[in-house]
Amino acid sequence: MEVFLKEIFGSRMTTDPFELEQYTKDIAYIPPILVRLLAKPWPRAVVQAEESREIACLMQWAFQKRIPVTVRGGGSSAYFNSVPVQEGIVLDMNHMQGVGAVHMAGKAEEPAVWVQAGTTWYDADERLRRQGYTLRSYPTSAPAATVGGWISLGGFGIGSIRYGPLREQILGVRAVTAGGEIAEVDNPGLKSEAEASAGGGGLCFDDFFGMEGTRAVITEAHLTVRPFPEKEAHRVLAFRDVRPTGRMIQELGQVSSVFNVHFSSPTFVAALHKKGYASELPQERYCLAVDLAGRQTEVEEALRTIRREVQVLGGEVLATEAGEAEWISRFKALRLKQTWPSLQAAELLLPVEHFAAFEEALTKLAKQKHTVVVTYAHLVSPETVLLMVLFPSDELNTLRYLGDLSFISRIYALGKLYGGKPYIIGLWNTSYLSDIYTSKELKRRWERKQRLDRPNILNPGKAYKAPFFLSRSVFRLGMGFLGMLCPFVRAGRESDA
């Protein structure tokens, strides 16, 4: 194996245990006992690709040898999406960086650009700005998240309320199939008949979005972009109660010049205040950071509309400086870890009409558990919010940390009651697959995976089926036991103190 990989990648291949260890984890801490039970995260080798031809050679060889390949970008998720579950090889995409020249393309003759998959969204935007353009949307983890990675995870984030999910902003994708064929697949809804390519490898456009790198290796994306807006405005709205906050979020979803809406719960703001952050936000208020972009007349009219609605709902529009400060800090949500170094989290897509009711129910659930829960969210469509729920845990206390996992399952169960579902699957959320898809959808997904990757070598163990200990019945039993264990662990810890 080493000889073959050296021939392709040269010094960009390693089997050094010290270097391999960096690829056995992502941003979330997972107790080693749980990792050993459910995964084999140590790769046999890591390779860093610089061009599609190298990836094609690797995949042809891995397909023949039945060796798993896990694609890794920024590793900025928390669900083991880019961590091996069955050893094999990690394909590091971070050397595949670059942004092409902006040109007009697609049915609508829009500005567009080819971006290599290993480019971070932050770098892509910086390079676009030199050409007089900017991204339509990007994740809150833009400084670390790569273009290929965010496509693979679904693509909801900043700008989604204005331009839709990432799938609706991409004209085409270049990729390498599981069998090693280089292919280009166009978005049938955005490319003209004259522009559309024949594709290849049996891939279709839907095989990339939210599939977590299990059907092909994305190498480049043809992104639509936007010129700099004529006018931008950033404001923070503050409310005493979550009900008018939820109503305001719904209203903002109907304002055409809204580019982003970010929600911060009072507990989230309080946690930031403890470390001296977000001083511009008032305590004990539900805050909405609203970002507008467009023509000057449109933005000014939107500001007047927002002020009227805020007044009707009994809220307050803070000083302009507060909005500017929040915009500058849009990539820094995880400053929270300075308040609580050990955090556990659940991430949901939730109907906006049920957002306020869910927040109220979550607050009650947190009180029952005697813990603090903080939430922040983005409005990603007029109908949907992407909500992050976090609470403090203790990595140094394995029993407590495991016990706290049961609270995550209760959060997802609560979300389901209000029409929500987990946003990302990876390995750790495979237990919730039946909450996300119907049995027919799960069957179709697996059949499609087998058609494209029969030996199941691309990122195996993710997104389709749960391993035994995460299967529905076993998982429920385990979470029930951990839920009963957690109060005793907490009580013991408090008595020791």
- Residue ranges of the domains in the chain? 2-92
Between the alpha carbon of residue 378 and those of residues 203, 279, 293, 330, 347, the distances in Å are 31, 21, 16, 11, 11
Position 195 scores a pLDDT of 54
Encode burial over 65-92: b for 16+ CB neighbours within 10 A, e otherwise.
eebbbbbbbbbbbbbbbbbbbbbbbbbb
Separation between Cα atoms, residue 328 and residue 152, nearest integer Å: 27
Task: Count the neighbouring beta carbons within 10 Å of the beta carbon of residue 487.
Answer: 12
Position 497 scores a pLDDT of 34
Position 493 scores a pLDDT of 45
Write the DSSP string, 308-344.
HHHHHTT-EEPPHHHHHHHHHTTT-GGGGGGT-SSEE
Position 494 scores a pLDDT of 41
Separation between Cα atoms, residue 18 and residue 21, nearest integer Å: 5
Position 12 scores a pLDDT of 98
Taking domain 2-92, whether its CATH number is 3.30.43.10 is answered by yes
Position 399 scores a pLDDT of 83
Q: Look up residue 200 and give its amino acid.
A: G
Task: Count the neighbouring beta carbons within 10 Å of the beta carbon of residue 249.
Answer: 23
Per-residue pLDDT of the chain (497 residues; tens, 9 = 90+): 999 999 999 999 999 999 999 999 998 888 898 899 999 999 999 999 999 999 999 999 999 999 999 999 999 888 999 999 999 999 999 999 999 999 999 999 999 999 999 999 999 999 999 999 999 999 999 999 999 999 999 899 999 999 999 999 999 999 999 999 999 999 988 765 455 555 567 999 999 999 999 999 999 999 999 999 999 999 999 999 999 999 999 999 999 999 999 999 999 999 999 999 999 999 999 999 999 999 999 999 999 999 999 999 999 999 999 999 999 999 998 888 888 888 999 999 999 999 999 999 999 999 998 899 999 999 999 999 999 999 999 888 888 888 888 899 999 999 999 999 999 999 999 999 999 999 999 999 999 999 999 999 999 999 999 988 888 788 878 777 777 766 655 554 443 33
pTM: 0.93
Position 489 scores a pLDDT of 56
Position 54 scores a pLDDT of 98
Residue 276 half-sphere exposure, CB side, CA atoms within 13 Å?
0
